[in-house]
Amino acid sequence: MFWPLRRKSRRKMARISIEGPITSSTRKWFLKAIKQVEEREFPALLLRIDSPGGTVGDSQEIHSALVRLREKGCHVVASFGNISASGGVYVGVAAEKIVSNAGTITGSIGVILRGNNLSKLLEKIGIRFETVKSGAYKDILSPDRPLSDEERNLLQELIDSSYEQFVTAVSEGRGLSASEVKKFADGRVFSGAQAKDLGLIDALGDEEDARKLAAKLADLDEEKARTVNIGSPKKRLSGLIPGNHFFSKLFNLLSMELTSGTEVLWLFNP
């Protein structure tokens, strides 16, 4: 049993929606929301995901929080919206079941670390960096010079380690072997229909289908069980630009780059 049958929340299920890039702010409000789900003793959580991905660490912490919630007996069903890729998948595979629209963009399982080599541009305009560092790799990915072979190998090892962690999460969450996951975990994206054939999701359907499945798993009335929205992410400036998806997405990308610098790993589908 999850919790004693003494709270009205036992007749309802919680709903949390992750929208946009997964960043530290996403993690902070999400963990607070999960705490509310535990305190209010909801028997099920409907997790709506509409995200292109985000940072590795934040995605992992959200994943871990969902696993702990399930261990306490709460049933978690994920519903993939327009896009649930990369870090969105990392979070989603922590759910007991995943429901996706047939046309949802998902997949993009992989890790990326990107820097900018502006050395030729800086040379043309007469700008040169003077660097004093404590170790050979302290200025790795500095924009004023290209990577050395040793630096590239070092970063590749870092990427490979994070990639293996991602594969393990998908493997354990979806009941697939690591070798099966690696057959399609090369950064490519899929439709929801393709993802179902690969075993990445359980069923095709919309959020209402996911709600009914969550109710069924928690022994609630599938028709009458209501959802209670928990948590609300802070409004991003991009949301204040009405009717312009291009500038909205551009702002999200710039925000991610500004907060990441050049040393944060991303689970992100551009």
Query: Tell me: the pLDDT tens digits for 172-216?
Result: 999 999 999 999 999 999 999 999 999 999 999 999 999 999 999
Asked if residue 204 is part of any domain, the answer here is yes
Asked if residue 166 is part of any domain, the answer here is yes
Whole-number Cα distances in Å, 77 to 131, 206, 207, 226: 50, 12, 10, 14
Question: What is the average pLDDT value for the chain, to the nearest integer?
Answer: 86
Query: Tell me: the pLDDT tens digits for 55-82?
Result: 999 999 999 999 999 999 999 999 999 9
Annotated catalytic residue, options 138, 148, 183, 232: 138
Asked if residue 127 is part of any domain, the answer here is no
Nearest to 33 by CA among 49, 17, 51, 56: 17
Asked if residue 255 is part of any domain, the answer here is yes
Model pTM?
Answer: 0.83
Asked if residue 33 is part of any domain, the answer here is yes
Decide if 142 is catalytic.
Answer: no
Decide if 86 is catalytic.
Answer: yes
28 vs 39: CA distance, rounded Å: 17
Amino acid 255: pLDDT: 40
Q: What is the dihedral of CA 155, 63, 18, 33, to 10 degrees?
A: -130
The DSSP annotation for 172-216 comes to HHHT--HHHHHTT-SS-EEEHHHHHHHTS-SEE--HHHHHHHHHH
Asked if residue 143 is part of any domain, the answer here is no
Asked if residue 16 is part of any domain, the answer here is yes
Amino acid 11: pLDDT: 80
Number of structural domains (the chain) is: 1
Amino acid 235: pLDDT: 54
What three-state secondary structure class fits 91? Answer: helix
- What's at 96, amino acid-wise? E
DSSP helix, strand, coil percent of the chain (3-state; round to 5): 45, 20, 40
Asked if residue 124 is part of any domain, the answer here is no
The DSSP annotation for 122-151 comes to HHHTT-------SSTTTTTT-TTSPPPHHH
Q: Please report, for the domain that includes residue 86, its CATH number.
A: 3.90.226.10
Annotated catalytic residue, options 59, 86, 162, 238: 86
Domain that holds residue 91: 8-113+148-268
